[in-house]
Amino acid sequence: MDNICGICGDTDSKKYMHTLNCSHSFHYECLVQSFKYANNRNCPICRKPSDILPMVNSYKKPINLIHYDYTTSIDELDKIKNFEHKKCDHIITRGKNKGKLCDKRCVVGFYKCSSHL
Ligand SMILES: [Zn+2]
Ligand SMILES: [Zn+2]
Ligand SMILES: [Zn+2]
């Protein structure tokens, strides 16, 4: 599986990738931007309409027509809007905070902060 973003062409492994049902892969954040700009959820490469995107850790807030739409049930919407964002779960191995969780904000889509990814 290649991890080149079909939008920006970058291979940055510290960016969360999302693969659409047409099997094209993009950075999650590039995809959100692209859907926002196009005002639809068509794959930027093949134009196949995609499903709504799943919420991922640390993504600030769900966007209408991207993370939910008129087909989303009230229960689902509730879950999406109250998505529980986790902090970095890296256990510090040195210094006075040894054994504690890092607890910093995570990189979007991951459960680690940028220094522990
Ligand atoms: Zn990208
Ligand atoms: Zn596609
Ligand atoms: Zn961390």
Instruction: Assess whether 48 and 30 both reside in one domain.
Output: yes
pTM attached to this predicted model: 0.90
**Residue range 3-49, pLDDT digits in tens:** 899 999 998 788 999 999 999 999 999 999 999 999 999 999 999 99
Sort residue 99 into left (φ over 0), alpha (ψ -120 to 50) or beta: left
**Residue range 45-103, pLDDT digits in tens:** 999 999 999 999 999 999 999 999 999 999 999 999 999 999 999 999 999 999 999 99
Q: How many separate domains does the chain show? A: 2
| Strand (E) or helix (H) holding 37 | helix 28-38
Contact present, 30 and 5 (Cβ < 8 Å): yes
* pLDDT at residue 108 is higher than 80: yes
Instruction: Assess whether 37 and 69 both reside in one domain.
Output: yes
Instruction: Assess whether 28 and 54 both reside in one domain.
Output: yes
Alpha carbon 44 to its chain centroid, in Å, reads 17
Q: Binning pLDDT at 50, 70 and 90, where does residue 2 land?
A: low
Interval between CA 44 and ligand 2 midpoint (Å): 7
The tokens 């890296």 sit on which residue? 90
Q: Is position 41 within any domain?
A: yes
Instruction: Assess whether 77 and 90 both reside in one domain.
Output: no
Instruction: Assess whether 75 and 109 both reside in one domain.
Output: no
Q: Is position 101 within any domain?
A: yes
Determine the Cα–Cα distance for residues 36 and 24; give it in Å rounded to an integer: 18
Question: Which residues have C-beta under 5 Å from ligand 2, the single-atom ion?
Answer: 22, 24, 43, 45-46
Interval between CA 28 and ligand 3 midpoint (Å): 21
